[in-house]
Structure 1
């Protein structure tokens, strides 16, 4: 199984960038851990949502010596039925080296989990597993991660 088959609304990110980004130097802007009762299944479901400020680095160098960054977006992910979560280091800045997704083998009950790894450059890092995931929002933003209003 590929990530594009597992992660609902995967294409909403790929359509903007033309590829699935590595999220190198992206910044995690928010994280929420919560749970809700799934009436139809009869159990409490733990979930995590987090929003990442993502962009594309070009080969153009600006006058200040930094590469030009374009396609700034706030991408919100939601993962349900999370388990084995270990998160550390949330800080005022949560820059990451990468955001990795690995589809794990299907378990004996027929569920296929995903492993999400946050490789920190500064601030938040860690990993968790989940049984479902989706991109819930992709919102254009400025270089500081503030939503651009229409």
Structure 2
């Protein structure tokens, strides 16, 4: 999957993860709506092909990612959106707007239509999504 060229600071996310992620099974930790902006904080990680002793895939590269959407024109996400587990998160150019499509494992699908999108923060975290203290 290629980094969408219209996502501000997208290369920083690629540097942290090693590739542009699909956001599959990523957890939405926080969501905040303002007058014309929307932000989400997501616990993102990479799944390896290794299996632990309990039979679960080993996860690595845990990060808390903050995504800001500016100039929001519309949203079809639930009014109380948060606590979601994503199937995917996609970014699509739609004329002069961008569409951020949230595909949910929990029935909370929706799309934010906005003027711009940026990766506003990338913080290493533990396997539960809690930010790690800087060294």
Fold agreement, TM-score > 0.5: yes
Contact kept in structure 1, 2:29 and 2:42, CA below 8 Å: yes
Contact kept in structure 1, 2:14 and 2:20, CA below 8 Å: yes
TM-superposition CA deviations, 1:60-116 (whole Å, max 9, x none): 00001000000000000101111121112635x4101000111112xxxxxx21111
Q: Unaligned regions of 5+ residues in structure 2, if any?
A: none
Q: Unaligned regions of 5+ residues in structure 1, if any?
A: 36-45, 106-111
SS at match of 2:105: strand
Pick the structure with greater CA Rg: 1
Q: Distance in 2 between matches of 1:4 and 1:97?
A: 18
Q: Distance in 2 between matches of 1:148 and 1:87?
A: 30
Contact kept in structure 2, 1:95 and 1:123, CA below 8 Å: no
Q: Does 1:72 find its partner at 2:72?
A: no
Q: Does 1:8 find its partner at 2:8?
A: yes
Q: Distance in 1 between matches of 2:117 and 2:99?
A: 11
TM-superposition CA deviations, 1:37-67 (whole Å, max 9, x none): xxxxxxxxx0001111000000000001000
Q: Distance in 2 between matches of 1:3 and 1:58?
A: 21
> Pairwise mapping of residues 1-150 of structure 1 onto structure 2 (< 5 A)?
4-35=4-35, 46-88=36-78, 90=81, 93-105=83-95, 112-122=96-106, 124-150=108-134
Q: Distance in 1 between matches of 2:37 and 2:56?
A: 37
CA RMSD of aligned residues (A): 1.6
Higher strand residue share: 1
Give, in angstroms, the shift of residue 3 of structure 1. Answer: 5.3
SS at match of 1:16: helix
SS at match of 2:5: helix
